[in-house]
Amino acid sequence: MVAKQKRADGERTRTAIVREAVTLATVDGLEGLSIGHLASALDMSKSGVYAHFGSKQELQLATVDEAGQIFRREVIEPALAAAPGLAQLVSVCDAFFDHLVRRTFPGGCFFAGAVLEMGTRPGPVKEEIAAFQLEFTACIRQFAETAIERQELPADEDPDALTFELNGIILAANASYVLREDPAVLDMARTIVRRRLNIAATSPP
């Protein structure tokens, strides 16, 4: 089979399409994301957009992939840059809250919405979303385990439970922030994270 080689301009527009698709999908959902809307938002023809993917499902997969990359860049990587252990736990939560105030996506966390929307729709799109959700929680869990090893957290702390709780705080913050655009809920979330981890409650600017 011949590896189809792509052209530079095609790759550029594909990137632009997918980037716009992520934004639209956080508002309209992955199912509500329509090729017509996408095309007019990009000043392109429907078929011009469509040709890059061949099916709506491929577009959805590309959109989820792009959202994952953005989330990694904005939330996971900043946390990985922090000191291993407890600092990473705080950092990943703070990075998430920053991610929200930065309004990268108008509809809040892409994956929080995608999980609930696609959870009942079996198929590769759901699988990719589930895989990313697993990657994220596994990341938090790893931070927690390291923190326990380093005795920054009590030895009897359950990493799974802690991961669950922090994930819950993140989801509650996202939901509240989407509904009422009040940054105060993020301050409260930061405070709660610190109290849960037994850290002096000095939240960063």
Partner DNA sequence: TCACAGTACGACCGATCGTGCTATCTTGTC
Partner DNA sequence: GACAAGATAGCACGATCGGTCGTACTGTGA
142 is a contact residue toward DNA (CB under 7 A): no
User: Binding mask 44-63 vs DNA (x if CB under 7 A, - otherwise)?
Assistant: xxxxxxxxx-xxxx------
Judged by phi (left if over 0) then psi (alpha if -120 to 50, else beta), residue 25 lies in alpha
182 binds, among a second copy, DNA, none (CB under 5 to 8 A by kind): none
Amino acid at 93: C
Q: What sign has the CA pseudo-torsion 11, 106, 25, 45? A: negative
Query: What does residue 109 show for φ and ψ, rounded to 5 degrees?
Result: -65, 125
Q: Give the range of 38-46, 89-97, 138-146, 156-164 binding DNA by CB under 7 A.
A: 38-46
By beta-carbon proximity to DNA, the closer residue of 50 and 97 is 50
Q: What span, in angstroms and rounded, lies between the C-alpha atoms of 55 and 181? A: 35
By beta-carbon proximity to DNA, the closer residue of 47 and 202 is 47
- Residue ranges of alpha helices (H) inside 102-200 are 110-118, 124-149, 159-179, 184-196
By beta-carbon proximity to DNA, the closer residue of 36 and 123 is 36
102 binds, among a second copy, DNA, none (CB under 5 to 8 A by kind): none
Smallest distance from the beta carbon of 138 to a second copy, in angstroms?
13
Query: Rule CB under 8 A: which of 115-144 touch a second copy?
Result: 115-117, 119-121, 126, 129-130, 133
The SS3 assignment for 55 reads coil
Q: Give the range of 39-47, 68-76, 144-152, 171-179 binding a second copy by CB under 8 A.
A: 171-179
The tokens for 123 are 């198929």
**Are the beta carbons of 90 and 194 closer than 8 angstroms?**
yes
Q: Helix (H) and strand (E) counts for the chain?
A: 10, 0
- List residues binding a second copy (CB under 8 A): 26-29, 31-32, 106-108, 112-113, 115-117, 119-121, 126, 129-130, 133, 160-161, 164-165, 167-176, 178-180, 185, 188-189, 191-192, 195-196
